[in-house]
Amino acid sequence: MIKKTLTILAVSCMLYSCATKTEGNPFFTEFKTEYGVPPFDQIKLEHYEPAFLKGIEEQNANIKAIIENKEEPTFENTIVAYDESSPILGRVGAVFFNMTDANTTDSLTALSIKMAPVLSEHGDNIVLNADLFKRIDAVYQKRESLQLTTEQKRLLDKVYKEFIRSGAALDAQKQGRLREINKELSTLGLTFGNNILNENNAFQLFVDKKEDLAGLPDWFCQAAAEEAKAAGKSGQWLFTLQNSSRLPFLQYADNRALREKIYTAYINRGNHNDKNDNKKVISQILALRLEKAQMLGFDSYANFVLDQTMAKTDVAVMTLLNKVWAYALPKAKAEAVELQKIMNKAGKGEKLAAWDWWYYTEKLRKEKYNLSEEETKPYFKLENVRDGAFMVAHNLYGITLEKLTNVPTYDPDVEVFNVKDADGSQLGVFYVDYFPRAGKRGGAWMSNYREQRGDIRPLVCNVASFTKPVGDTPSLLTLDEVETLFHEFGHALHGLLTKCQYKGTSGTNVVRDFVELPSQINEHWSTEPEVLKMYAKHYKTGEVIPDSLIAKIVKQKTFNQGFVTTELLAAAILDMNLHMVKEMNGFDVLAFEKSAMDQLGLIPEIAPRYRPTYFNHIVGGYAAGYYSYVWANVLDNDAFEAFNEKGLFDQQTANLFRRNVLEKGDSEDPMVLYKNFRGAEPQMEPMLKNRGMIE
Ligand SMILES: [Zn+2]
């Protein structure tokens, strides 16, 4: 996943004189640190709010200067000036929103709720500024005669459409309503996220009887014992809804009733008719989005969103999703039959339920491939996997990552690396924050502390919640986590290798159904035999992963893909359906979900990967966009075919990918970029093949 901070707000110092008091607040000026990294050792809670307010003031002054410029509107004095209009907000926003996701506190959360409407109003003040739009429109209307580069045309088009899509061309009354809608949406979005966080924290499964731990691996029990101890219940074991706790529990716990308990708690987050309930919140969000889309001339919010994507329309998206669904569901059903067979062998007369899927899948995996996660994990020590990802990038693109020990961080768990190109030039700084903590939301993502433009190099981070080392046992990753690490590092490469002129076009600022290509293609290397031998070494003995184990890993790649694809598609289709709604009267979100899933023929043993009351993606930046993972999966499999054809580290192919995709950001239409790399449009077959759905 990828996280966007204030996209509307951009950078320049030229128009603003920093005469007011700057002492003490590190956000008021460029960070005076090596590489320009955020001075986490100086940043304090009380710095954020004044910096936001000062940043708003600064950007307002910069925009006023654009408007009052006596010269004719030009690309430079209008579009570039706008792209660079918010240095302070850029700095404070990047740090603040990374902290509220990775390291929040009650005070930071409270401040984010306080600032949300202020920032949203400020954003509206800009995009609904008629005088500013007049100048942008003037540049846009004469774009053909300006002899702009491809990237400049793209930025101009982007900025112009951003204003149009924000209501710049609407009348004053409609603009007023739009402001209200945006304000409400931003507050509702925060409420939604905080409700989920509260729900995650509220659920604690304490186990006090050793027999209830049956089936669970030692490392996992140890971690759970530590958790319980930290929660003040020494001698017990604590399991939570975090992926790193819930998923191993579902996978290994013999106690079926407890599996049901943790599963049910997970899928009912935000659905308890209490203060953390999200049913009404999500319905309100959907209604406001629909109203907004219709005001801007679209029939649904889905089509409003998709207008700015590679897919372009809901028809294109649904066609792809339905096509894949036709292969995925039968495969999932066949998998369910196999799981039921194993259950039958146990002779308890139990029928496969949703909370059994992981548990019996693990048993089946063992039976079929004689492969258990416990066998592979010793070879996937976090540091080895991370170094493996770095090595792959080095072999492909010639880059190196060196650990920096003198860069301030917000937590001792955070590590920082200096990223250099093959010729020794500096590409950027890369932060990794891999372990869970209270105040970090679930999942994994990439984000920026500073975006690239011109000569300014980016500061990029990866955040995840992998199992923390316990005692002498280091953090050992599951195969899934190995792929997650490579995935997020793929986003990081997109952010680090970018070579664009403008902030608005650089790095991962691409259309959403293209943004997962660099991340998803990077996952492919993680389990290639040649690559596994490079990094997968036993954490105790240093022994390279044996060929027999590699063979098993490769053989089981298509294992359980029916389930994985089905739960992903179900969520993607649910997201699309929710945003294709054209009438909200009498809308009941859970009834809607049920009817949508019934129509698809989804089996009760599988739930959509996310349900509406905790579908964070679609409340964040992925509304009518969760399909992007499938869309990009077509792209990444087709793109990786190029490496299959030419060689895993073929320099020419790697170079084509780097120059046409990783360096290009959004400086050109994504389909053009893709074809420049691949020589043709992407095909669906490699994906179906890699998921074991066709031969
Ligand atoms: Zn991603």
Residue 37: is its pLDDT beyond 90? Answer: yes
Last residue of a domain, one of 235, 267, 299: 267
Shared domain for 428 and 506, answered yes or no, is: yes
pLDDT at 23: 64
Residue 517 alpha carbon to ligand 1 centre in Å = 8
pLDDT above 70 covers what percent of the chain?
97
* Cα separation, 502 vs 453, whole angstroms: 5
What's the pLDDT tens digit per position in 160-180? 999 999 999 999 999 999 989
User: Which SS3 state, helix, strand or coil, does residue 559 take?
Assistant: coil
Residue 620: is its pLDDT beyond 90? Answer: no
Shared domain for 537 and 683, answered yes or no, is: yes
In a domain, 355, yes or no: no
Q: Which residue has the tokens 């010269």?
A: 71
Q: Domain limits at 435?
A: 378-555+628-690
What is the pLDDT confidence band of residue 371, given thresholds at 50, 70 and 90?
A: confident
Residue 14: is its pLDDT beyond 50? Answer: no
pLDDT at 509: 96
Residue 618 alpha carbon to ligand 1 centre in Å = 14
Last residue of a domain, one of 267, 289, 312: 267
In a domain, 279, yes or no: no
Residue 489 alpha carbon to ligand 1 centre in Å = 9
* Cα separation, 400 vs 418, whole angstroms: 8
Residue 11: is its pLDDT beyond 50? Answer: no
- Phi, psi dihedrals of residue 516, rounded to the nearest 5°: -85, 0
Shared domain for 432 and 489, answered yes or no, is: yes
pLDDT at 13: 30
Q: Which entry of 151, 362, 481, 488 is annotated as an active-site residue?
A: 488
Between 14 and 136, residue with greater pLDDT: 136
pLDDT at 2: 62
Average pLDDT estimate for 638-650: 97
Q: Which two tokens stand for residue 418?
A: 């200096």
What's the pLDDT tens digit per position in 570-606? 999 999 999 999 999 999 999 999 999 999 999 999 9
pLDDT at 3: 57
Shared domain for 384 and 502, answered yes or no, is: yes
What's the pLDDT tens digit per position in 382-413? 999 999 999 999 999 999 999 999 999 999 99
pLDDT at 453: 96
Q: Nearest-5° angle of CA 640, CA 524, CA 461?
A: 110
In a domain, 211, yes or no: yes
Residue 18: is its pLDDT beyond 80? Answer: no
Average pLDDT estimate for 40-63: 97
* Cα separation, 416 vs 693, whole angstroms: 41
pLDDT at 10: 34
Mean pLDDT of the chain: 94
**456 - beta bridge partners?**
453
In a domain, 599, yes or no: no
**How many structural domains compose the chain?**
3
* Cα separation, 145 vs 106, whole angstroms: 53
Residue 8: is its pLDDT beyond 60? Answer: no
pLDDT at 12: 30
Among residues 201, 197, 210, the alpha carbon closest in space to that of 100 is found at 197
Shared domain for 499 and 384, answered yes or no, is: yes
Average pLDDT estimate for 24-51: 96
CB atoms within 10 A of CB 21: 10
What's the pLDDT tens digit per position in 64-113? 999 999 999 999 999 999 999 999 999 999 999 999 999 999 999 999 98
In a domain, 363, yes or no: no
Shared domain for 250 and 383, answered yes or no, is: no
Q: Which residue has the tokens 């410029």?
A: 69
pLDDT above 90 covers what percent of the chain?
89
* CB of 15 closer than 8 Å to CB of 61: yes
Shared domain for 118 and 227, answered yes or no, is: no
In a domain, 323, yes or no: no
Among residues 370, 357, 364, the alpha carbon closest in space to that of 253 is found at 357
**430 - beta bridge partners?**
417, 460
Last residue of a domain, one of 106, 138, 165: 165
End-to-end CA, the chain: 30
Residue 22: is its pLDDT beyond 60? Answer: no
In a domain, 327, yes or no: no
* CB of 569 closer than 8 Å to CB of 630: yes
What's the pLDDT tens digit per position in 496-534? 999 999 999 999 999 989 999 999 999 999 999 999 999
pLDDT at 20: 42
Shared domain for 529 and 650, answered yes or no, is: yes
Shared domain for 427 and 485, answered yes or no, is: yes
Residue 230 alpha carbon to ligand 1 centre in Å = 32
Shared domain for 114 and 235, answered yes or no, is: no
Rounded-to-10 torsion of CA 519, 520, 526, 527 = 180
pLDDT at 229: 96
In a domain, 386, yes or no: yes
For residue 488, indicate whether it is catalytic.
Answer: yes
Transcribe 147-163 into DSSP letters. Answer: ---HHHHHHHHHHHHHH
Residue 444 alpha carbon to ligand 1 centre in Å = 8
Shared domain for 138 and 256, answered yes or no, is: no
Sheet of 415-420, strands arranged across? 400-404, 415-420, 426-433, 459-463, 445-450
Q: Domain holding 428: CATH number?
A: 1.10.1370.40
pLDDT at 368: 86
Residue 678: is its pLDDT beyond 60? Answer: yes
Shared domain for 218 and 98, answered yes or no, is: no
What's the pLDDT tens digit per position in 424-474? 999 999 999 999 998 998 889 999 999 999 999 999 999 999 988 988 899
Residue 8 alpha carbon to ligand 1 centre in Å = 21
Residue 693: is its pLDDT beyond 80? Answer: yes
